[in-house]
């Protein structure tokens, strides 16, 4: 009989920290610049230079620790991780081994059953990035811009039980880290990198099986696909009486399969030892407090506040707390005195649609939050219909013109002139006396047949509320 296995998953994540300069020198933290323009004797590994720790990187580490509900360790120790690679000019990477700055935290994710589950964070430590080798033609080139860029490595407990849970963990982590400006988390730029650890065990048993590690994953979807592939492969292997070997693998996204990179027998021994050129890192309670006080609410906390104070439902509150930039845009619209629900509707229908079609982020929106607020207020004040507002919005987005200017020049405002509305209403009643008598008999819905023609003749500009009132007065006397 086929046995069923339960996947056990743990993730290691590297985040490039959003600092101005590198981890141990004053070079610009800009890995994507023209190759080898942000380098100095220190980050190219020359002799006789000493590292100086970047305070900002430490603050971002503390912030991450607070977001992960973890211990921020008052003393942590930098250590040398020794290995040879052409893009690592010192022959070692400065990292933290036995004493990381962060330990014992968690992230909440949704599990299969839709319940909230805590995924443990074992540790998070500060380290420096290596340079970048580029191979092409008959030579290899090295760019040291990335050498010494500050990283935070976040290691989870083996607490995830499905590819979807791993996906949810990554999504939540990224959302939080980007929200707090700890990292830009752009996977395409290598600002967020994921290594996956997986083992299987028979359902109902405790003991972990043999673990494999998958590297080179370039999207969260790739993580999910690679895990799904490996779970299937290992299940089949185990059911055929085979054994899983402890291996490091690569994911080939194009082929949709894993490849063996190396087996554990040839795994590296890093010969860690404390970095003699840096004293132990000391973090005081006052420093932790300072970071804490400057921290905004986390996405989940902000979501709850919006539900409680603005009366938004969970779905809408979730929408506006997806990203920091969306939240900022939303709050600017609110500040202008617009109803929360109307703001959400506009941001996630018209604005989101236009942004998506133009492949833009909300930060690049041609219509500013203030302009959108002005437009919504015109509708709320009964000055224009929502149909016209949508047209004006689209035009403002496409032409980058201000909403105010477009409204003025198009004469788009609503017809509130009662005399004019009455002329149109009388004509509509005369053309459709049947609808009028139905309204009179109490069928309120029948009024639609009279509103329609007036809207048509007024090109959508008749003030709907006023028109309704006038029609009712004319019919019911
Ligand atoms: P290494 O330094 O060799 O990568 P670690 O002990 O630091 O090893 O573990 C790295 C990751 O592997 C962690 O995220 C951990 O949760 C995960 N892990 C450890 N054991 C297992 C296992 N049996 N199955 C799945 N994941 C595991
Ligand atoms: Mg590992
Ligand atoms: Zn430098």
Looking up residue 451, the CATH number of its domain turns out to be 1.10.10.410
Q: For residues 107 and 169, is the Cβ–Cβ distance under 8 A?
A: yes
Q: Facing residues of 71 across strands?
A: 103
The CA 191 to ligand 3 mean position distance, Å, reads: 19
Residue 158 Cβ inside 6 Å of ligand 1? The answer reads yes
The CA 410 to ligand 2 mean position distance, Å, reads: 62
- The answer to the question of residue 16 being in a domain is yes
E strands present in 302-457: none
Quick one: which ligand is closest to 129's CA? 3
Q: Is there a single domain that holds both residue 314 and residue 446?
A: no
Which residue among 8, 83, 96, 155 has the greatest number of ligand 1 atoms within 8 angstroms of its CB, and so is best to mutate? 155
Residue 157 Cβ inside 6 Å of ligand 1? The answer reads yes
- The answer to the question of residue 84 being in a domain is yes
pLDDT at 426: 93
Q: For residues 119 and 160, is the Cβ–Cβ distance under 8 A?
A: yes
Domain interval for residue 312: 296-410
Q: What share of the chain is helix, strand, coil (3-state, %, to 5)?
A: 40, 20, 35
Mean pLDDT across 231-255: 95
Q: Is there a single domain that holds both residue 253 and residue 359?
A: no
Task: Note the pLDDT tens digit of each residue in 352-366.
Answer: 999 999 999 999 999
Q: How many beta carbons lie within 10 A of that of residue 69, not counting itself?
A: 14
pLDDT at 130: 97
Q: Is there a single domain that holds both residue 219 and residue 81?
A: yes
Which of 253, 285, 317 is a domain's end point?
A: 285
Q: Is there a single domain that holds both residue 187 and residue 312?
A: no
- The answer to the question of residue 177 being in a domain is yes
Residue 385 Cβ inside 6 Å of ligand 1? The answer reads no
CA distance 209 to 199: 5
pLDDT at 219: 95
Q: For residues 377 and 342, is the Cβ–Cβ distance under 8 A?
A: no
Q: Is there a single domain that holds both residue 338 and residue 207?
A: no
Residue 155 Cβ inside 6 Å of ligand 1? The answer reads yes
The CA 123 to ligand 2 mean position distance, Å, reads: 13
Q: Is there a single domain that holds both residue 18 and residue 62?
A: yes
Q: Facing residues of 9 across strands?
A: 160, 198
Task: Note the pLDDT tens digit of each residue in 82-136.
Answer: 999 999 999 999 999 999 999 999 999 988 888 999 999 999 999 999 999 999 8
Mean pLDDT across 212-229: 95
Residue 95 Cβ inside 6 Å of ligand 1? The answer reads no
- The answer to the question of residue 291 being in a domain is no
CA distance 10 to 185: 19
Which of 231, 253, 285 is a domain's end point?
A: 285
Which residue among 8, 11, 12 has the greatest number of ligand 1 atoms within 8 angstroms of its CB, and so is best to mutate? 12
DSSP label at residue 437: H
Which atom belonging to ligand 1 lies closest to the Cα atom of 197?
Answer: 26
pLDDT at 150: 98
Q: Is there a single domain that holds both residue 402 and residue 433?
A: no
pTM over 0.75: yes
Q: Is there a single domain that holds both residue 405 and residue 422?
A: no
- The answer to the question of residue 466 being in a domain is yes
Mean pLDDT across 39-68: 97
E strands present in 4-68: 5-16
Percent of the chain at pLDDT > 70 equals: 98
Distance of CA 60 to the CA centre of its chain: 18
Q: Is there a single domain that holds both residue 258 and residue 138?
A: yes
Q: Is there a single domain that holds both residue 116 and residue 40?
A: yes
Residue nearest to atom 11 of ligand 1 (CA): 10
Q: Is there a single domain that holds both residue 279 and residue 406?
A: no
Q: How many domains does the chain have?
A: 3
Residue 258 Cβ inside 6 Å of ligand 1? The answer reads no
Q: Does 282 have pLDDT greater than 70?
A: yes
Which of 242, 258, 285 is a domain's end point?
A: 285
Q: Which two tokens stand for residue 13?
A: 């994540």
Q: Is there a single domain that holds both residue 320 and residue 468?
A: no
- The answer to the question of residue 290 being in a domain is no
φ, ψ of residue 333 in degrees (nearest 5): -60, -45
Percent of the chain at pLDDT > 90 equals: 84
Q: Does 397 have pLDDT greater than 80?
A: yes
């Amino acid at each position: 009989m086929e046995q069923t296995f339960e996947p056990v998953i743990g993730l290691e994540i590297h985040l490039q920290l959003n600092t101005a300069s590198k981890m141990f020198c004053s070079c610009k933290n800009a890995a994507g610049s023209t190759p080898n323009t942000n380098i100095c004797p220190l980050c190219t590994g020359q002799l006789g230079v000493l590292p100086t720790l970047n305070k900002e990187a430490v603050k971002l580490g503390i912030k991450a620790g607070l977001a992960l509900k973890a211990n921020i360790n008052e003393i942590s120790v930098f250590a040398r991780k020794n290995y040879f690679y052409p893009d690592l000019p010192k022959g070692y990477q400065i990292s933290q081994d036995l004493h990381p700055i962060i330990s014992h935290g968690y992230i909440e994710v949704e599990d299969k059953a839709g319940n909230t589950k805590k995924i443990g964070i074992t540790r998070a430590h500060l380290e420096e990035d290596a340079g970048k080798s580029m191979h092409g033609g008959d030579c290899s080139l090295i760019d040291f811009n990335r050498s010494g860029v500050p990283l935070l490595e976040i290691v989870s407990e083996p607490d995830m039980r499905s590819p979807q849970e791993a996906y949810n963990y990554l999504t939540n982590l990224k959302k939080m880290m980007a929200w707090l400006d700890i990292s830009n988390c752009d996977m395409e730029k290598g600002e967020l990198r994921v290594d996956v650890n997986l083992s299987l065990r028979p359902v109902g048993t405790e003991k972990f099986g043999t673990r494999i590690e998958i590297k080179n994953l370039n999207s969260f979807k790739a993580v999910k696909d690679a895990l799904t592939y490996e779970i299937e492969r290992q299940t089949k292997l185990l059911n055929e009486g085979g054994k899983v070997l402890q291996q490091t693998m690569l994911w080939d996204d194009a082929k949709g399969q894993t490849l063996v990179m190396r087996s554990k027998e040839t795994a590296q021994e890093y010969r860690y030892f404390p970095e003699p050129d840096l004293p132990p890192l000391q973090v005081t309670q006052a420093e932790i407090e300072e970071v804490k006080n400057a921290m905004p609410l986390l996405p989940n906390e902000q979501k709850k506040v919006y539900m409680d104070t603005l009366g938004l439902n969970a779905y809408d509150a979730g929408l506006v707390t997806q990203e920091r930039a969306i939240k900022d845009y939303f709050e600017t619209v609110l500040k202008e005195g617009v109803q929360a629900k109307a703001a959400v509707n506009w941001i996630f229908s018209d604005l989101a649609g236009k942004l998506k079609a133009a492949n833009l982020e909300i930060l690049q929106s041609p219509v500013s939050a203030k302009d959108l607020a002005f437009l919504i207020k015109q509708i709320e004040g009964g000055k224009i219909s929502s149909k016209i507002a949508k047209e004006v919005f689209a035009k403002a987005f496409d032409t980058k013109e201000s909403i105010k200017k477009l409204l003025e020049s198009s004469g788009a405002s609503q017809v509130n002139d009662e005399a004019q509305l009455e002329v149109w209403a009388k004509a509509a009643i005369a053309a459709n006396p049947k609808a009028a008598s139905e309204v009179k008999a109490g069928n309120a819905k029948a009024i639609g047949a009279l509103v329609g023609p007036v809207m048509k003749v007024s090109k959508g500009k008749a003030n709907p509320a006023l028109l309704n009132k006038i029609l009712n007065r004319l019919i019911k006397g």
